Amino acid sequence: MRADIYLFGPGALVWGNPGQLTVERLPPVEGYWSVAPVYPPVAHAWEPTISPDVSQAVAADQERAGGEAATDSSENKDESTDQPEKKDIPEIEGDPLPRMLETVVVERIPWYHLDMPWLEPWDGSFEMGLNGSSGNSETFDVRLGAEAKRKTKRHSIMFDLDYHKNTNEAVETINRLYFEGRYERLSETKPWTWFFQQTTDYDEFQPWNVRVVSSTGIGYRFLDDEITTLTARLGSGFSQEVGGSDQQCVPEMQYGMEYEHRMTTRQKIRLSVEYFPDLTAYNEFRLVNKADWEILLDAEMNLSLKFSAIDRYNYPNPGGKLNDVDYAIVLLWSF
């Protein structure tokens, strides 16, 4: 867990640990002093260790104000003799640094807080849904999922994993695993992108066991800010089904659109559609539609309620149904 303490305010930065504090000079900053949560909790104050450059700056400030300080000290000499002796901790440009150190109170970090700076700027979530029954009927349904994203000015990486299993009277009726990963190269000056995408779909109740899809192409960001993103993608690649009657590698085009919007501070939606026509027979195609709605339940624990639906349409699909719709309501924990 983190053990450093950071205080910042007009003219100075204080950092360190329970054994030592270091003061560094900064340009004046408007506002108040503040303190970041640390662990373990702070119950006492420390004497700061002043770095050499700050010591010189403090000495220069004291010398510049020497005349005024001498006058004030002579007038208040009699009054100060009755005052208790205080620790000699220099102040920086009039900031109440000693008083702040003596009165700072830091709260304990909650037990569920994860301090993982090596993950920054990664964002992610875990999700879980569970239901079942026992007695006259025996059913069990479990959903697990994980998602991770990392976005910088020039790169964007996304991973999504979902697993769904259902049994009824000890008979397995659903057993599906879906993975999607995408790398996207961004431009700092233009809305164009280049992407590579890979998906793996495992389903015991399809005419095939595994379908692997890889594609690459270009994208265009119509909207890209903290509230709304809208990206269109155009590419090509291939798909291959393993364990079915037709295990040939099929060349495909890819047309896609992805939309995400934060409606309020507690709600956001995400929609996407992807169309994969067969380049050798354009009337044969696959269509994948997704919709997610997240509602924040507890901001302190990053706990949300997620409504999700995914529709997979595959034409033709010999030996199986053309359309598969999968929907769920799960609890989601973000980090």
CA 265 to chain centre: 15
Q: How far apart are CA 204 and CA 328, in angstroms?
A: 19
pTM, full prediction: 0.64
pLDDT at 192 over 50: yes
pLDDT at 121 over 80: no
**Which helix or strand (DSSP H or E) is residue 102 part of?**
helix 97-103
Q: How far apart are CA 117 and CA 160, in angstroms?
A: 22
From 5-9, 71-75, 174-178, 330-334, the region with the lowest mean pLDDT: 5-9
What does the pLDDT average to over 81-89? 48
How do residues 9-38 score in pLDDT, each as one tens digit? Answer: 444 445 544 444 444 444 443 433 333 333
DSSP state of 52: H
Q: Which residue has the tokens 């397995």?
A: 172
Domains, the chain, with CATH or none:
5-103 (no CATH), 117-334 (2.40.160.40)
Give the pLDDT of residue 100: 45
State the pLDDT confidence band at 70, using cuts at 50, 70 and 90.
low
How do residues 196-224 score in pLDDT, each as one tens digit? Answer: 999 999 999 898 999 999 999 999 999 99
Give the pLDDT of residue 169: 86
State the pLDDT confidence band at 41, using cuts at 50, 70 and 90.
very low
Q: How far apart are CA 298 and CA 152, in angstroms?
A: 27
Give the pLDDT of residue 198: 96
Facing residues of 309 across strands? 291, 327
pLDDT at 63 over 70: no
Give the pLDDT of residue 71: 55
Question: To the nearest whole percent, how much of the chain has pLDDT over 70?
Answer: 64
Instruction: Give the Cα-Cα-Cα angle 183, 187, 193 (nearest 5 degrees).
Output: 45
Give the pLDDT of residue 27: 44
Comparing 132 with 82, which gets the higher pLDDT? 132
pLDDT at 62 over 60: no
